Structure 1
Amino acid sequence: MINKKSSILSLVITFVVMGIMGMQLFDLKFNNDLDAFFPLDDPDLIYYKSYTEKFGHDNDYILVAFENQAGIFQQDFLLRQDSVAEQLEDIEGVEQIISLVNLKKLVKGPMGYLEIPYLHLDDPAQLEKDSLKIIKEPHVWSQFIAEDYSSTKLIIMHRKFENKKLADGFVSEIHRVLSQYQFDKVRLAGRPIGERAYVWAVQQDFTFFLIFSGITILIMLIIFIRKPSMVAAALLISLLSVALTLSFMTLVGKEIDILSTLIPSILLVVSMSDIIHLFSHAKEEYNAGTPMQTAVNRAVGKVGFATLLTSLTTAVGFITLISIRVQPIIDLGIYSAIGILFAFVLTYALFPQLMYLIHPNLGRKKSNKLIKKILDTLYHWVLRKQKLIIWSFIIGFLVVLYGISRLEINAYLIDDLPKNDPVRADFKYFDSEYGGTKPFTMTIWMADSSDIYNPRAIAMIDSIETLAHEMLNANNLVSPATLVKSIHQMQHSGLASAYQLPGNDRDWDQALRTIKKGKVEQRFFKVTDGYLAQISGFSRDQGSKDATERTEKLRTVLNQWLNEDSPLRYRITGSQLLIEKSHATLSMNLMKGLFGAVIIVSIIAGYMFRSWRMILITLIPNLFPIMAIAAVMGLFGIPINLGTSIIFAISFGIVVDDTIHFLSKMREERIAGRTMIYAIKRTLFATGEPIIITTIILTSGFAIFCFSQFAATFHTGLFVSVSFIVALIADLTLLPVLILYFLPRKVLRRK
C-alpha cells in the first residue's frame, strides 16, 4: 500500500543504496582482451594453453611496413629502417626485431661459420647486387618485401602483456620511435594494434550511446508523457538503473568491452517499458475519476505482476546468451539480465512513490487521437479480415523460410573495426601484400616421442608445409624443415639454390648434427620444445567460413596420409582456430539458447491461462519477428557471427513483453466475465496505446545503435528495431485473431 510514509521511506532507502553503489563508478575500466572471445571449456583451448607454455602466444607480434616510392633498395631508406630497428629493440617488452635490414645468414667457410648480412647498408654499389640475390630467395622476399615491391616489413616480437595499460604503453612507445623518422607511409598491424583501435572506438561508442540514448528517451517521454515532473522521474529511474548496473559490474570486477557498451543503452530503453505501462494504467484510473493514491495503487496491482513477468522474460532472453560459450557474450547476457531486474525494482521502488508525492496534474485528457484511430482500424480488421491477416502471415512465413535458407555463419578478423579506421586499411594491406596477419599454428610430434630431427620426419613436415600453403593459404612458414633447409644452404656457401632439404645421407647427417650440437634454434628461431615441434606462419583473412572449410579439408587429407601407421602426429591449434571454432558452433548454441527461452515463455503463458493452446498462441507472434530477422540477414547476405548472434536473444527477450501485457489484460477481462469479442476490444484499446508507445521508444532507442562505428553494433540496432516493428504488427493483428480461433470460449475463473 502506497502512502506518504512508505513513499518517503522507499525513496530514502533507494538513494542511500544508490549513493553507496555509485562510488564504484570511479573505478570503471575498459577491456581490450580479444582472447576473451575464445570458446570456454573447449579441448582446443586447453591444448592451446599448454602450447603457449612451450612456445608462447602465437599472436604476440606487431608487423610494420615501410613504404618508399623511390624504391625499397635505396640506401637512405634502409638506413632509416636500421635506426628504427635499433631503437625498437630498446623498448621494454620487445623480445626480438626481425627485419630485412638486420637479417643475416650463416655461411660455412674455411675459418668456420660466418654471419653475412643480406643487405650491405654501408655500400650502395653492393646493395644492387644484394637485391638481385634476395629476389632469388623466395623464402626471404616473400616474408619481408611486398608483392608490389613498394615496401619492406619489420616484425616486432614482444612478450605477453597482462593488461590494457601495458599494451597501450608499448604501442605508444612504438609510435614515438616511428614518429622520429620520415617515411612515405608506415603501416602497422597485429593484436596490440587491433585491440587499441577497438578500445578507442568502444570508448567513443560508449559515450555516444549513453548521451544520445538519453536524449532520445527524453524526447519520447516528452511526446508521450508530457508532464515535466513525470518525464524527469522516468528519466531518473532509467539513469539510476544504468548507474546501478555499471556499479555492480565494477564491484564484481567486470570491465567494459565491445559488447558491454550496449548495456547502458539497452537498459535506458527497456526500463521505459515498465514505466510507460505503469503510468498508462495509473493515468487511465485517474481519468476515470479515481483519486491519485488509489489510482497509483490500482495501477501497481493491475500491471505489477505482468510487468514482473515481462522483466523475467526479457531477462531470460538475455540469459540465453550463456549458451554461446564466449565470455563477453555471456557477460552481456548476465549483466543485461541483472540490469533489467534492477530496472524493475527501481521502477516500483520509485515511480509510484514519486507519482503519489508529486501528484502531477494529469488532467482528464483522452487518449492520443492518432493511436486511437489506428487501434480502431486494427480492431475492425481483426473482426472482419481474419483470413486476410492469417494468409498474409503465411505468405510472409514462406518468404522468411526462403531467407533463412540463405543464412550463413561467417566473420572476418577486422569486421568490427570502423570502416574509415586507418588500422583496418593497414590490416588489409598486409593481407594483400605480405600473405596475411592472422597467425597460423600447427604442432607436430613423433608417435613414439622420439627426436623430430630425422630425415623421414623432416621430409614429411616439408610436405605438410606445402599442403598448408596450398590448402589454407598459409604463408611465411617456419618449422624444423625450414631450419634444416637454412642449415643446408649455409653449408653450401649460402647459395640460393641450396635452400632445400639435403639430397644425400652425408648432407642430412651434417645438417642434423649441426642443429643438434650447434644450438641453432637459439640463434635463429625456436621450433621445438622437447619432442614437440611447431609449424607457424601467417595467413590471409578470408572469413571464418572459408577458413573452417579449408581446415577441415586439410584435416581430411592429413588424416588419410598420417594414419595410425605413420610415425608422425599433428594437431592444428592457435588463437585463430579458437575464434573460428566459436563462430562455427554459433548456430547450434543459438538454437539451444532460444529453445530454452521458448520453453520458459511457454510455461509462463500456460500458467497465465491454464491452457496448452496459449503456448501456441503466444509463441507464433513472437517467433515470427526472430525468424524475420534471420530471413532479412540471409536475403541481404549478412552473416551470423559472434557480433550479430546477440540480436536474436535481445529481440526475443523484449518482443515477448507486449504479448504478455496483452494476454494479462485479456485474462483480466475474461475473468470479469466479458465475452471474447468484447474482451479483445477492451484489451486492444487498453494495452494498445502503451504497447505502441513502448515500441516507438524501444525502436528509437535501439536505432541509435545504427550510428555505431562497429558493424555488429549497427546490425544489432537495425535488426532489433525491425523485430520490434514486426512484433508490434503481430501482437495487434495476428495475436487477437489466434485468440479468436484457438482460445476456449469459456469464462476464466479467478484462482
Structure 2
Amino acid sequence: MSSPQLQANWVGRYADWLIRYRWLVAIGALLLAFVAASGARFLGFNNDYRAFFSEANPQLQAYEKIQRTYTKNDNILFAVVAKDGNAFSSDALAAVEEMTEKSWLLPFALRVDSITNFQHTIAEEDDLLVQDLVENASGLDAATLASIKATAIADPTLKERLVNSDGSVTGINITFQLPQKSMTETPEAAAAAQALMEEIEAKYDVEIYATGIILLSNAFFEASQSDMSTLVPLMYLVIIVVVFLLVRSVSATFAALLVIVFSMAAGMGLAGFLGIKLTPPSASAPTIIMTLAVADSIHILVSLFAAMRRGLSKHAAIRESLQLNMGPVFLTSITTAIGFLSMNFSDAPPFHDLGNITAMGVMVAFFLSVTLLPALMAILPVKSRASESKIGRSMDVLGDFVIRRQRPILLSGVIVSLALLAMIPRNEINDDFVGYFDESVEFRTDSDYINENLSGIYQLIYSLESGSANGVSNPEFLAKLEHFTEWMETQPGVRHVNTIGDTFKRLNKNLHGDDPSYYKLPEGQELAAQYLLLYELSLPYGLDLNNQLNVAKSSTQIVVTLDNLKSQELKAVADAGSVWLEKNVGLTAYGVGPAIMFANIAERNMEGMLVGTLVALILISALIGIALRSVKLGVLSLIPNLLPAGLAFGLWGALVGEVNVAVTMVTGMALGIVVDDTVHFLSKYLRQRRAGENVEDGLRYAFSSVGVAIVVTSVILIAGFMVLAQSSFGMNSSMALLTAICILMALFADFLLLPILLMKLDAKAYDPAIPTIENKEQNYATQPL
C-alpha cells in the first residue's frame, strides 16, 4: 500500500473510532483537561519588579550588591500637597508630622525620612545639638514656621528631594526591608500605605500622592489582576459572537467554546504544576491561548459545514474534516508552539513564562480540537446552512482577481513593502517602568505628579570605595566625592544628588559657631571622623548613616535623582558618570538602580530574541518543508511569513517609533502565529497540484476551500490581540497591538503575495505519487460507519 493510502487509512480509522466511541472520547478528553486545569490552584502572583530580570542580569547583580551593602532602596514616597499651596502651614506640617510618625508602623518599614524628622544640627557653644526640624507643628507660631521653611528649602539634602523649591509640596520617604518570604508582602505594605493616605487626607486639608519601588511592584500585581478580570471575559464575548456569526450553529459554538475554555484552563493549570508564578506579561497568556485555540476549531468546523452543505451526513462530514485538517492543524500548532517557545531566549523571565504557558495551551488546544470537538459535534444536533456564505463567494472572486491582476498587485506590493521597511530604523528603544502603565492607573498619575512637582522618581546609585576602613573621612576622598557631585549636578536631567559630603559640610559649619564661611569640607581626616562620630551618636534610632555609608565606613553611596528620561538618555547619564569617575578621580563605579535596569532590558532582550527567532525560523521552515514534501515551498513560505513582521515594525516606526522589551518579543511570537495561514493555504494548493491541476486551478481551490477559514481565524486573532491591547499595562498592550498588525499584514501577504510567488516559481508539474500532509488517494468521507 502506498504512503498516501497508509496515511489515509490511519486518519480514517481514527475518525471511525472517534465517532463510534464519541461519548468515551468526549468524557476522556474532558477528564484529562480537568486534571491539567487542577494545577491552577498552585498559581500565584510574583509582584516583585525584580521578576523582570534574570539572575544573570549584570545590572540586577550590581544593584543587589549595593542593596546588601547599604540600607535597601525599596521605598514609598508620599507627596503631601497643601490645598492652600503652603506646605509649611501649621496644618500641613501637622499632617506631615503625624504621617511621619505613623509611617514607622507600616508593615516592613525600616526608615522614615521627612522634613519634620530631618535631623537639624545647630551649634550651642561647644555642643552640637541634633534634633527634629519640626516638633509639635500644630502649636508653632508664624515666625517659627517661616524659619523652618527657610531652613528646609536652603538645605541641599532636602531641596528637590523632600521639598520643592517654592515650598508647596513636601515628601515623606519610607524605606522598606521586605523579608521576601511571602507573595503578600508587597500588597500588604501598599494597602497599609493607601489606608494611611486616606486617613491623613480625611483629617487634614491636604492631598497625598504616592510613588516608589514598593508601589511599582504592587502596580504590576494590580495590572495582572485587572487584565485577568476584564480582558478574559471580553475575549469570551468576542469569540462567542464571531464563531456564532460564522457557523450559525449553537451546538458548534458551544463545542468550540468548550475547547477554548479548557485549553486556557489546562494551559494555566500546567503552569501551576510547573511552579510558574504569574506576572503582567504571563498573566496575558489566557487571552492569547483563547485567541489561538479558536483557530483550530474554526478550520475543522468550516470544513465540516462545507461538507454538510454538499450533502454529506454529519458523521461523514466529521470524518472528511478530520482528513482534511488533521495534518495542517497539527503542523500549525507545532509551529505556533515553537514561535512562543522562542521567547525562552528573552532576558526577561516573565516572557519565558508567557511563551511556555501559551505553547502548552496551544498543544492542549490541538488535542481537544481533534478529540473533544469532533466528538461533541458527533453527539450534539447540528444543522448546516443550505447556501454558501457571502465571504465564501467573495473568496472565489478574490482568487480570480489575484490571478488576473498579478503584475499590478506585485508592483504595488513591492512599493508599499519597501516604503514600510524603510521606516524600521525610526524605531527607538525606550523602556520606562512608569510609562508601562497608562494614565488610568493611579501609580502612573501619582508618579507623574511627583516628578513634575516635587522630585524626580528615577535614581542612579553609585557606590564609591575609599580603599580603607573609615576612609570616607579622608579629605582627599571627600574632595573627589565633591568634584563628582558638582559635575553630576550640571548634567541634563539631574534633579538632586544626595551625598554624605553635604553632611560633613554642615557639621563643619555647626562646629565653627554656625559660621557660613565654614560650610565646606573639613581639612583633616581625624577632625572629619570626630564630626561624623559625634553626629552619629546623636541620631535617633532608625535614622543611622547606613543609608549612605557601609558598616566599615570605607565606602559611600551617592544617590542621583533624575527626571523621567528616555532609556538612551538615562544610560548616557549613567555611562558618563562612570567615565568621569575613572578619568578624573581614578574611581571605578557604575550607576545602578531599577531605572537603569529597565533602561537596559530591551537591548539585552533584543540580542537574545534575535537568536531565538533564528532558531524558530530554522525549525519552522524545516517542519514546513518536511510536511509539504517540498524544500522549495518550505523556503518560499518564509517570505510571506517573515515579511509581515518587517512591515509591522516599519508601520510601528512611522506611527509610534518607540520599542520596549515586550515589542522585541513580537518577531518570534508572530512568526509562529502567521505561519498558520500559509500552511493551510499551501496544503490545499498542493492537494490540487499533486492531483494534476495547474497552478491557477490549485490557487482557486485554495481560495475557495480555506479562504473563509483564513479570514475568520485572522479576524479572531486580530480581535483577540486587540482585546489584549486594551490592557492598562504597556508591555502587554504594545506587544498585542504590534502582533495584531503582523497578523493583518500576514493576511495580505498570504492572499496577495503568496499566490503570485507560486505562479512565478511553481509552474512545474507535480508527481501525483508524492504524498502530502493530507489524505489524497481515498475519500473515506463516503464510507458508511
Choose from 295, 298, 304 the match for 1:276. Answer: 298
Query: Which of the residues 551, 568, 577 maps onto 1:545?
Result: 568
Equivalent pair of 2:78/2:208 in contact (CA under 8 Å): no
- The Cα of 1:623 is off from its aligned counterpart by 1.7
Q: 1:545 to 1:496 in 2, by over 3 A?
A: same
In structure 1, the partner of 2:393 is 372
Partner amino acid, structure 2, of 1:515: L
Amino acid in structure 2 at the alignment position of 1:352: P
CA shift in 2, pair 1:494/1:202, >3 Å? farther
CA–CA distance in 1 between the matches of 2:338 and 2:728?
Answer: 28
Distance in structure 2 (CA, Å) of the matches to 1:92 and 1:234: 48
Does the 8 Å CA contact 1:18/1:240 hold for their aligned counterparts? Answer: yes
Q: Output the amino acid matched with 1:177.
A: L
Q: Would you say the 8 A contact 1:57–1:160 is kept in 2?
A: no
Q: Secondary structure at the match of 1:377?
A: helix
Alignment of 1:238-317 (within 5 A): 238-317=260-339
**Aligned equivalent of 2:754:** 735
Counterpart-to-counterpart distance in 1, 2:589 and 2:723: 48
C-alpha deviation, 1:86, in angstroms: 1.7
| Higher alpha-carbon deviation: 705-714 or 634-643 | 705-714
Are 1:557 and 2:580 an aligned pair?
Answer: yes
The residue that corresponds to 2:164 in the other structure is 146
SS in 1 for 2:728: coil
* In 2, Cα distance between equivalents of 1:657 and 1:496: 75
Q: How does 1:415-430 map to 2 (within 5 A)?
A: 415-430=435-450
User: Does the CA contact (< 8 Å) of 1:586 and 1:641 recur in 2?
Assistant: no
Q: What corresponds to 1:725 in structure 2?
A: 744
Counterpart in the other structure of 2:360: 338
Query: CA 1:549/1:194 → structure 2, altered by over 3 Å: closer, same or farther?
Result: same
Q: What number of residue pairs does the alignment pair up? A: 742
Deviation at 1:448, TM superposition (A): 7.5
Aligned equivalents of 1:519, 1:56: Cα separation in 2:
16
Cα deviation, 1:273-327, whole Å, max 9, x if unaligned, reads: 1111112223333444444334323322322111111011111121122222101
Per-residue deviation, 1:92: 3.6
Structure 1 gap ranges (5+)? none
CA RMSD of aligned residues (A): 2.6
- TM-score, normalised via structure 2 length: 0.89
Query: Counterparts in 2 of 1:669-748, with a 5 A limit?
Result: 669-743=688-762, 745-748=764-767
Alignment of 1:301-700 (within 5 A): 301-358=323-380, 360-362=382-384, 365-373=386-394, 375-446=395-466, 451-471=471-491, 473-495=493-515, 498-502=518-522, 504-505=523-524, 508-515=525-532, 519=536, 524-526=544-546, 527-529=548-550, 530=552, 531-562=554-585, 566=586, 568-700=587-719
Does structure 1 retain, via aligned residues, the 8 Å contact 2:244–2:253?
Answer: yes
Distance 1:48 1:370, change over 3 A: closer
Partner SS for 2:158: helix
1:129-182 deviation line (CA, Å, top 9, x unaligned): 333344443333333222342121111122125244222222322333331422
CA contact (8 A) 1:446 1:569 kept: no
CA distance in structure 2 between the aligned counterparts of 1:444 and 1:294, rounded to whole angstroms: 78
Moved more, 36-45 or 576-585: 36-45
2:146 is equivalent to residue 128 of structure 1: yes
Encode CA deviations 1:470-526: one digit per residue, 9 max, x unaligned.
Answer: 336444433343342233233233455544323x44xx5311333368756985422
> Does the C-alpha gap of structure 1 residues 160 and 465 become closer, same or farther in structure 2, counting only changes over 3 Å?
farther
Choose 535-544 or 59-68, whichever is displaced more: 59-68
Q: CA distance change for structure 1 residues 67 and 402 in 2, over 3 Å: closer, same or farther?
A: farther
SS of the residue 2:211 aligns to: strand
1:220 to 220, 237, 242: 242
Q: Relative to structure 1, is the Cα distance of residues 466 and 262 closer, same or farther in structure 2, using a 3 angstrom cutoff? A: same
1:210-231 Cα distance to aligned partner (Å, 9 max, x none): 1111111111111111121111
Identify unmatched segments of 5+ residues in structure 2.
1-13, 772-785
Distance 1:49 1:129, change over 3 A: closer
The one-letter code of the counterpart of 1:75 is S
1:159 paired to 2:177? yes
CA gap of 1:131–1:456, structure 2 versus 1, over 3 A, is same
Deviation at 1:431, TM superposition (A): 1.4
C-alpha separation in 1, matches of 2:704 and 2:690:
18
59 and 540 in structure 1: CA distance in 2 versus 1, 3 angstrom threshold: farther
Which amino acid counterpart does residue 167 of structure 2 have in structure 1? Y
Write the letter of the residue equivalent to 1:510: L
Counterparts of 1:191 and 1:262 in 2: how far apart (Å)?
Answer: 23
- Structure 1 contact 39–581 (Cα < 8 Å) conserved: no
Query: Match for residue 259 of structure 2?
Result: 237
Contact 1:443 1:573 in 2 (8 A): no
Worse overlay, 571-580 or 14-23: 14-23
What is residue 99 of structure 2 aligned with on the other side? Answer: 84
Query: How far is 1:694 from its partner?
Result: 1.2
CA distance in 2, matches of 1:75, 1:518: 29
Q: How far has the Cα of 1:644 moved from its partner?
A: 2.9
State percent identity of aligned pairs: 21
Corresponding residue for residue 59 of structure 1: 74
> How many Å separate the matches in 1 of 2:687 and 2:318?
18
Provide the C-alpha distance between the structure 2 equivalents of 1:683 and 1:130, rounded to a whole number of angstroms: 81
CA apart distance, 1:355: 1.9
Question: Hey, what's the Cα distance between the residues in 1 that align with 2:106 and 2:391?
Answer: 67
Tell me the SS of whatever aligns to 1:97: strand
Does the CA-based 8 Å contact 2:461-2:593 persist in structure 1? yes
Instruction: State the distance in 2 between where 1:435 and 1:70 align.
Output: 17
CA offsets 1:88-143 (integer angstroms, 9 cap, x no match)? 22334222221111212334444532224434644413222333344443333333
Partners of 1:320 and 1:593 within 8 A in 2: yes
8 A contact 1:68–1:151 mirrored in 2: no
CA distance in 2, matches of 1:57, 1:136: 27
Residue identity in the other structure for 1:512: A
Distance 1:183 1:32, change over 3 A: farther
Question: How far apart, in 1, do the equivalents of 2:122 and 2:157 lie?
Answer: 17
Deviation at 1:736, TM superposition (A): 0.9
Say if 1:274 and 1:307, in contact at 8 Å, map to a contact too.
Answer: yes
- C-alpha contact 1:440 1:474 (8 A) present in aligned 2: no
Residues 285/76 of structure 1: CA separation in 2 closer, same or farther (3 Å cut): closer
Moved more, 660-669 or 350-359: 350-359
Distance, in Å, in 1 between the alignment partners of 2:576 and 2:189 is: 39
Specify which of 118, 138, 141 is matched with residue 133 of structure 2.
118
Partner of 2:5: none
Which amino acid counterpart does residue 439 of structure 1 have in structure 2?
Q
> Which amino acid in structure 2 is aligned with residue 528 of structure 1?
L
